Structure 1
Amino acid sequence: MEPDDIRFGSLKEDRGWYFVEYTPPIPNYRFSTLCVCIVEGHDAQAVAFAIEKEARDWLMRYQAPLMATAFSADGGIFSLKGVRPIDHMVAWRDSESSQVVFRWELVKDALPDIALDRNFLQKTFADVPSKTGAEIQNEVVKDVAARKVGWWLVFVWAVVVPLGVAVLEWWSDLLGLVVLLYAFVKAIIHALRLMGHLPKSDREREKEAQELRMRHHHYHCERNPEGFERLKAESFRREEIARTKAEALVLKVQARNGPIDG
């Protein structure tokens, strides 16, 4: 990424049975992206009409060409088979007539190149949050520095502190005696538990039960890998649906009450 490149944030708006996410062009791309996320069940024809309506409305707000795609609640592309040639639509405003052009096909040469103009992007998307490449690079540098600090803290705690304790043990007979007594007590407690004379704590019983479930689960996953893959895919699908519906709910609340802080 070049320092003067511009990366825009996305805009999300609720539409009832779906919500939209509009993202201005990324560097060296000729079009914005428009995602129509379907939250409630509707047929393909209704979804196709919604895509065309949204494309027209967004082109009235921002003149950059766009590519629009609908997604189901589980994150997959919504199929428009039977009602449109493909699942993606490209749209732009004609430079001469200002009419909106819809093309249900992947367009390359006919697509206007106005989005390649940095000045056009800055002027057109002045109200959209953005960052330059230099700002993003600075954030990455700060993040890397913070991770290094965290690594050193872990290193000190995991290596330096135990080493210091070991040195103190060697130099201090009293501390060595305390550590030795502690080790004896731990060993006696462990021995009593192994012989059944000391009941296990609730935490230990819960840990053993969890480990047993994990071994049982692992055993059956090895016996039926295809079933495990189906179960994993279904779990991911449900999580994505829940995430999409939660996002839609947040947008509905924001539409009624205004933006939510944080």
Structure 2
Amino acid sequence: MEEKIYFDHITEKTDCYFLEYSPPVSSIPFASLTVTYVSEVAAEEVATDLEKLAGKWITRYPVPVMASAFDRHGDLINLENVRPISHVTATLDDGEPRYRWELLEDEEFPEELKSQGYLLEIYSDLNFRTQSEVSAKARENLKPIRTAKRLLIVWSVVVPIAIALIEFFSPLWLSVIALVYSFWKAYQQWLKMTGRKEKSDRELEREKDASLKEHHHYHCKLNPDGFLRLKVENFQKMEEDQIQKKYDSISTSN
């Protein structure tokens, strides 16, 4: 059984969108092309762009490519008012691109597209990684998480047990120190509660945050529908910001 290979993706951008071209993976017999617009665009223009771009990429790499478009919120752009479906698949017919606004059956794709050797020849200018390399990288990325988990176990389990043992076996003088410290903490708390001790800027900031949270929670309970709309708007704004950051990160030289 052949080991899976993963080719690098290709990104490009224009003034109004960025695209990502992804070669086939494993048994998927076609490449994918996603076009994400960062400004408003008409459906007919999107459909025309998808055909033009799909034709460009299948000419560059003779592999069937399915193209889809997304708006600046990350939602699929619905093209069913101007085309049969929202995705176009470009294939080669006598060496010329053919655009099919329909879902193709597996048997309609050339059988050689399932061969890694064939794909390696077509995508000879792209770097790729094997399944074992991807798995090794994933294990490497998990190491910090495992370390953090071990530290959490130490602080949550080992440290309390150690403190309990110290308290049990500690001499009398250590218990006295602990008792004095407890009384001092209680005295400090009494000063704060009676207003005899000024609160630090950090404590004031915490109280302010807590008050704001309670205020927001109260009004959210009064208007749950409005709160739901606000959440949706916030999620859309976050998605829009992420898309804009990705757009800005793409070099115009790609």
Q: TM-score, normalised by structure 2?
A: 0.89
In structure 2, how many angstroms separate the alpha carbons of the residues matched to 1:165 and 1:198?
Answer: 31
Structure 2 partner of 1:46: 45
In structure 2, how many angstroms separate the alpha carbons of the residues matched to 1:199 and 1:33?
Answer: 62
- Percentage identity across aligned positions? 34
In structure 1, how many angstroms separate the alpha carbons of the residues matched to 2:141 and 2:41?
Answer: 43
Structure 2 partner of 1:219: 218
Structure 2 partner of 1:92: 91
Deviation at 1:146, TM superposition (A): 4.3
Q: Which runs of 5+ in 2 are unaligned?
A: none
Can you list the C-alpha shifts for 1:122-145, whole angstroms capped at 9, x where unaligned?
222233332222222233344445
In structure 2, how many angstroms separate the alpha carbons of the residues matched to 1:129 and 1:45?
Answer: 35
Q: Which runs of 5+ in 1 are unaligned?
A: none
In structure 2, how many angstroms separate the alpha carbons of the residues matched to 1:3 and 1:204?
Answer: 61
Tell me if structure 2 keeps the 8 A contact 1:36–1:71.
Answer: yes
In structure 2, how many angstroms separate the alpha carbons of the residues matched to 1:212 and 1:115?
Answer: 61
Please show how residues 135-214 of structure 1 align to structure 2 within 5 Å. Answer: 135-169=133-167, 170-214=169-213
More displaced 10-residue stretch of structure 1: 137-146 or 226-235 = 137-146
In structure 2, how many angstroms separate the alpha carbons of the residues matched to 1:179 and 1:129?
Answer: 62
Structure 2 partner of 1:104: 101
Deviation at 1:3, TM superposition (A): 7.3
Amino acid paired to 2:138: V
Structure 1 partner of 2:117: 119
Amino acid paired to 1:105: E
Q: How many residues align?
A: 252
More displaced 10-residue stretch of structure 1: 27-36 or 198-207 = 198-207
Can you list the C-alpha shifts for 1:7-27, whole angstroms capped at 9, x where unaligned?
233211012211111111121
Structure 1 partner of 2:69: 70
In structure 2, how many angstroms separate the alpha carbons of the residues matched to 1:190 and 1:173?
Answer: 26
Deviation at 1:38, TM superposition (A): 0.7
Amino acid paired to 2:219: H
Structure 2 partner of 1:35: 34
Structure 2 partner of 1:5: 4
Structure 1 residues 189, 3: closer, same or farther in 2, change over 3 A?
farther
Structure 1 partner of 2:132: 134
Tell me if structure 2 keeps the 8 A contact 1:3–1:132.
Answer: no
Amino acid paired to 1:100: P
Deviation at 1:53, TM superposition (A): 1.3
Structure 1 residues 15, 114: closer, same or farther in 2, change over 3 A?
farther
In structure 2, how many angstroms separate the alpha carbons of the residues matched to 1:3 and 1:118?
Answer: 8
Amino acid paired to 1:159: V
Can you list the C-alpha shifts for 1:27-49, whole angstroms capped at 9, x where unaligned?
11111110011112222222222
More displaced 10-residue stretch of structure 1: 2-11 or 183-192 = 2-11
In structure 2, how many angstroms separate the alpha carbons of the residues matched to 1:146 and 1:204?
Answer: 32
Structure 1 residues 111, 223: closer, same or farther in 2, change over 3 A?
farther
In structure 2, how many angstroms separate the alpha carbons of the residues matched to 1:179 and 1:208?
Answer: 29
Amino acid paired to 1:203: R
